[in-house]
Chains A and B, each alone.
Chain A
Amino acid sequence: MNTTTEPELGKETSAIEAIRQKEKWFTRIVKMQAFQIFLVLLVLVVVFSLLAPDTFAQFSNLRLVVQNASILAVLGVGMTYVIITSGIDLSIGSVLVFSGVVSAIVMRQVGGDNWGVAAIGIAVSIVLGILWGVLNGVLVAKAKVPPLIVTLGSLGMALGGAQILTGGVDLRDVPSVLTESIGYGNVFGSIPLISVIALVVIVLGAIVLHRTRFGLHTYAVGSSEEAARRVGVRVDRHLIRIYALSGGLAGLAGILSLSQFSTTAIAGQSQTNLNVIAAVVIGGTSLFGGYGTIFGTVVGLFIPAVLQNGFVITGVQPFWQQVAVGAVLIAAVYIDQVRRSSTRRGNSQKNRKWPIFGRKSPPQ
């Protein structure tokens, strides 16, 4: 009996698998929320292009849209990782400012306007970002304080720290090697260098997330912390690394911002965290964790950017952009809810609460 049924079942498995394999590529992409939101973006671009063919649909305009989204994209990569673990990082805007401020102070102390000084500044900014991230990560993973609270706290601490260090007065003596290269420099003719840097971060972020063990563990921790722990994933260490990654990218964004704006803009960036979170969520990453893509986040960033640019060009009141982005955001989360309830079967994750209010603590 056994010997006759087994190979048959085996064949069945492979046969079904083979059929799946064929249709899989196309249908899976179409079903991806990131892809659907990409279609929305395309529609927006087409509509604005039709409305304003000689102003919106120009390379020079789209180039500036991309340039202005670059800093947010760097932050978005880190935020995507954090949200996939069902966490949140509210501190990125403040960490960006803090890292930029300390970096500017250090560069001023060292003095000079050359790449040596700039390199020191870049290193200081990134290292400080990582340190803030590690602080967030340790508090989330080890002290079990909810990430919403931890990063709300570090948001205030980093911003306050920046104000203490400067007395609230912006520093504007940024080495011109930075502003002329990273800030406004171009490569390959007229591709902004800052956008190329962002693209490198995006591509590396996507490869690591979708192709490596680090990425797999990120999804696993967000999907079921308990399942990950039981099979030996070092969940706490992984969470610390994720928050450190987010912080480090905020540090990098700090130097990019310093280069682009030639000022520490201490009073700025106050809504950066929410804008980045909105982009990540619009891009289909689930606030409940376990699901998300870097591609979606990039698309999610361009929806508000294109809307704002298009509205300004077509002369629509700027406030409408916020209304439209808000609607898209709610729609995206609604879609995620529908998707989750339709794909979730059985009882394996009943009683899951909104994740940002607290990680489920491990048993005993």
Chain B
Amino acid sequence: MLTFLVRRTFVMLLTALCLTFVVFVLTNLPPNLEKLAKTEAGSRISDAEVESWLERNGFARPMLLRYGEWMGVVPGWRNEQDGKVTGRCIQPGQDPATAPRFCGVLQGYWGFSTFFKAPVGEKIAYHLGLTGILMFWVMVVMVPMALLIGVLAGMREGSRLDRTLSTFSIASTATPEYVSGVLLIAVFASSMFGLKWFKGTATGAMNDVTFENFALPVLTIALYGTGYIARMTRASMAEVMTSQYIRTARLKGLSFRTIVLRHALRNALIAPFTVIMLQFPWLLNGVVIVETLFSYKGFGWTLVQAAGNNDIQLLLGCSVVAVMVVLATQLISDIGYVLLNPRIRIS
């Protein structure tokens, strides 16, 4: 088990390293830097001035070196001009002598957002917190609903209940968030049918979560995920219900309810656990769409703003967080699967 853990963690770190480098390269392409120089130093500057601006701000160095700086394994750049020392690690107004040599992600320094005019680390932490609240409620709604649908559909495969619920889950996987969100807003939050039950924006939910302003965003994300988890649960439940020990329990004369609740359910829920964990990357997609649609200023909204405004440091930070979330959930789902399923032994 320990070697398995170590190896998985090692592969995960290697993947994280590769991914952050890819993201770094993609966000630091020459056109991006040129655009950054023009937004920072004025849009009408000449090519030569762009060059010198990049030179002065440490962007003209080799990509690998700058990646090292950003990671915090290579000393940050320093420039001396007219007796004034500027550098990556020197905050405005700070004495160059007291500034640290290394400053990167490893030291907890994520850079400075050009769009928000605030440190990236702080910004991401705040908006990630808001998304955390959204995700929590999505999970609270989605997981029990999906498991219930899946178990009910899978316990009698081919029955009428199964067909109804399966059609529902197919329909829900066919409705991406931007479709269901628009439809939900039209029906429940606009003048179309006059049912103004909920609010069409979730901006108010950032300070104060109420049923009125949070129901639609949560439902929108949960609907798309429900279908998939329910179908997986149904498949797993149906498989368990045909197994030998369930037949034994039947022949023993146990009631259907006991068989489902005591014998089948526990084994049927192993596979959905993995699926739920692996849903996180998909939920992240949903979060970006829903936060844009309902203007809820969470992590997804931040990512869109960062990408739309060429805010390189912020986009890098968001990407790293997103990728780490995905990798961490993959690791957890692997470990959880091994722990939950006694049939898998890792020697």
Q: Do chains A and B stick together as partners? A: no
Chain A residues within CB distance 8 Å of chain B? none
